[in-house]
Amino acid sequence: MSEALRPAAQRSATLEDVARVAGVSRATVSRVINGIRNVDPAIQESVRRAVASTGYVPNGAARSLVTRRAGALALVVSGSGTDGRGEEAGRTQVFTDPFFGRVVSGVFTGLRPHGVHPVLMLADAPEAREQALSYLKQGNADGAMVVSTHADDPMPGLLLAAGVPTVLFGRPAAPLPVSCVDLANRDGARLAADHLHARGRRRVVTIAGPPAVRAARDRLEGFHEAMARHGMPYLPHAEADFTQAGGERAMARLLVEHPDLDGVFAANDLMAQGAVAVLRDHGLRVPEDVAVVGFDDSSAATAGRPPLTTVRQPVEEMAAEMARILLDVLARPGRGATSVIFEPELVVRRSS
Amino acid sequence: MSEALRPAAQRSATLEDVARVAGVSRATVSRVINGIRNVDPAIQESVRRAVASTGYVPNGAARSLVTRRAGALALVVSGSGTDGRGEEAGRTQVFTDPFFGRVVSGVFTGLRPHGVHPVLMLADAPEAREQALSYLKQGNADGAMVVSTHADDPMPGLLLAAGVPTVLFGRPAAPLPVSCVDLANRDGARLAADHLHARGRRRVVTIAGPPAVRAARDRLEGFHEAMARHGMPYLPHAEADFTQAGGERAMARLLVEHPDLDGVFAANDLMAQGAVAVLRDHGLRVPEDVAVVGFDDSSAATAGRPPLTTVRQPVEEMAAEMARILLDVLARPGRGATSVIFEPELVVRRSS
DNA sequence: ACAGCCGGATAGAGCGCTCTCCCACGTGCT
DNA sequence: AGCACGTGGGAGAGCGCTCTATCCGGCTGT
**pLDDT score for A7:** 39
**Searching chain A, which residue's CA lies closest to the CA of residue B94?**
A101
Task: Confirm whether any atom of chain D, the nucleic acid strand, is less than 7 Å from CB of B40.
Answer: no
Asked if A70 is an interface residue toward chain B (Cβ–Cβ < 8 A), one would say yes
**pLDDT score for B6:** 36
**pLDDT score for B304:** 87
How many angstroms separate the CA of residue B271 from the nearest CA in chain A? 10
Mean per-residue pLDDT, B151-167: 92
Q: Inspect the interface and report whether the beta carbons of B135 and A117 lie closer than 8 Å.
A: yes
Contact residues on chain B for A105, CB-CB shorter than 8 A: 88, 91-92, 94-96
Helix (H, G, I), strand (E, B) or coil at B100: helix
Q: Which nucleotides of C are covered by protein (CB under 7 A)?
A: 7-12, 14-20
Q: Inspect the interface and report whether the beta carbons of A304 and B304 lie closer than 8 Å.
A: yes
Kindly report the pTM of this predicted structure.
0.93
Contact residues on chain B for A119, CB-CB shorter than 8 A: 72, 117-120
**pLDDT score for B82:** 53
Q: Percentage of residues in chain B with pLDDT exceeding 70?
A: 95
Which ranges of chain A have pLDDT less than 70? Answer: 1-11, 80-85
Q: Inspect the interface and report whether the beta carbons of B6 and A68 lie closer than 8 Å.
A: yes
Contact residues on chain A for B318, CB-CB shorter than 8 A: none
Asked if B92 is an interface residue toward chain A (Cβ–Cβ < 8 A), one would say yes
Task: Confirm whether any atom of chain D, the nucleic acid strand, is less than 7 Å from CB of B27.
Answer: yes
Of A63, A95, A138, the CB nearest to B105: A95
**pLDDT score for A334:** 78
Task: Confirm whether any atom of chain C, the nucleic acid strand, is less than 7 Å from CB of A34.
Answer: yes
Which residues are CB-neighbours of A161 under 8 A, at least 6 positions away?
none
pLDDT value at B121 more than 90: yes
Contact residues on chain B for A116, CB-CB shorter than 8 A: 1-2, 4
**pLDDT score for B80:** 61
| CA dihedral of B121, A145, A338, A99, whole degrees rounded to 10 | 80
Whole-number Å distance, CA A37 to C1' D2?
Answer: 30
Q: Inspect the interface and report whether the beta carbons of A165 and B139 lie closer than 8 Å.
A: no
Contact residues on chain B for A273, CB-CB shorter than 8 A: 303
What confidence tens digit (pLDDT) does each residue in B40-92 have? 888 888 899 999 999 999 999 999 999 999 999 999 999 765 555 678 888 88
Contact residues on chain B for A244, CB-CB shorter than 8 A: 299, 303
- B32 close to B48: Cβ distance less than 8 angstroms: yes
Mean residue pLDDT of chain B comes to 91
Of A2, A57, A163, the CB nearest to B116: A2
Task: Confirm whether any atom of chain D, the nucleic acid strand, is less than 7 Å from CB of B9.
Answer: no
Task: Confirm whether any atom of chain D, the nucleic acid strand, is less than 7 Å from CB of B215.
Answer: no
Please indicate whether residue B132 or residue B79 has the higher confidence score (pLDDT): B132
Which residues are CB-neighbours of B332 under 8 A, at least 6 positions away?
none
Of A3, A91, A96, the CB nearest to B299: A96
| H helix intervals, chain B | 15-22, 26-34, 41-54, 60-67, 87-96, 98-111, 126-137, 155-161, 185-198, 214-229, 244-257, 269-281, 299-303, 315-331
**pLDDT score for B5:** 35
Amino acid letter, residue B70: A
Of A64, A94, A273, the CB nearest to B61: A64
What confidence tens digit (pLDDT) does each residue in A182-238 have? 999 999 999 999 999 999 999 999 999 999 999 999 999 999 999 999 999 889 999
Q: Inspect the interface and report whether the beta carbons of A4 and B330 lie closer than 8 Å.
A: yes
DSSP per position, B224-245: HHHHHHTT-----EEE--SSHH
**pLDDT score for A12:** 84
**pLDDT score for A83:** 57
Q: Inspect the interface and report whether the beta carbons of B302 and A138 lie closer than 8 Å.
A: no
Q: Which nucleotides of D are covered by protein (CB under 7 A)?
A: 7-12, 14-20
Q: Percentage of residues in chain B with pLDDT exceeding 90?
A: 75
Helix (H, G, I), strand (E, B) or coil at B216: helix
Q: Inspect the interface and report whether the beta carbons of B114 and A61 lie closer than 8 Å.
A: no
How many other β-carbons are positioned within 10 Å of the β-carbon of residue A234? Answer: 7
Of B7, B94, B115, the CB nearest to A334: B7
**pLDDT score for B81:** 59
Of A72, A109, A277, the CB nearest to B140: A72
**pLDDT score for B12:** 82
Tell me, letter by letter, the H, E, C secondary structure of chain A: CCCCCCCCCCCCCCHHHHHHHHCCCHHHHHHHHHCCCCCCHHHHHHHHHHHHHHCCCCCHHHHHHHHCCCCEEEEEEECCCCCCCCHHHHHHHHHHCHHHHHHHHHHHHHHHHHCCEEEEEEECCHHHHHHHHHHHHCCCCCCEEEEECCCCCCHHHHHHHCCCCEEEECCCCCCCCCEEEEECHHHHHHHHHHHHHHCCCCCEEEEECCCCCHHHHHHHHHHHHHHHHCCCCCCCEEECCCCHHHHHHHHHHHHHHCCCCCEEEECCHHHHHHHHHHHHHCCCCCCCCCEEEEEECCHHHHHCCCCCEEEECCHHHHHHHHHHHHHHHHHCCCCCCCEEEECCEEECCCCC
Q: Which of residues 110-139 of B touch A (CB under 8 A)?
A: 112, 114-122, 128, 131-132, 134-135, 137-139
- In sign, the C-alpha dihedral spanning B65, B69, B75, B80 is positive
Q: Inspect the interface and report whether the beta carbons of A120 and B117 lie closer than 8 Å.
A: yes
Asked if A36 is an interface residue toward chain B (Cβ–Cβ < 8 A), one would say no
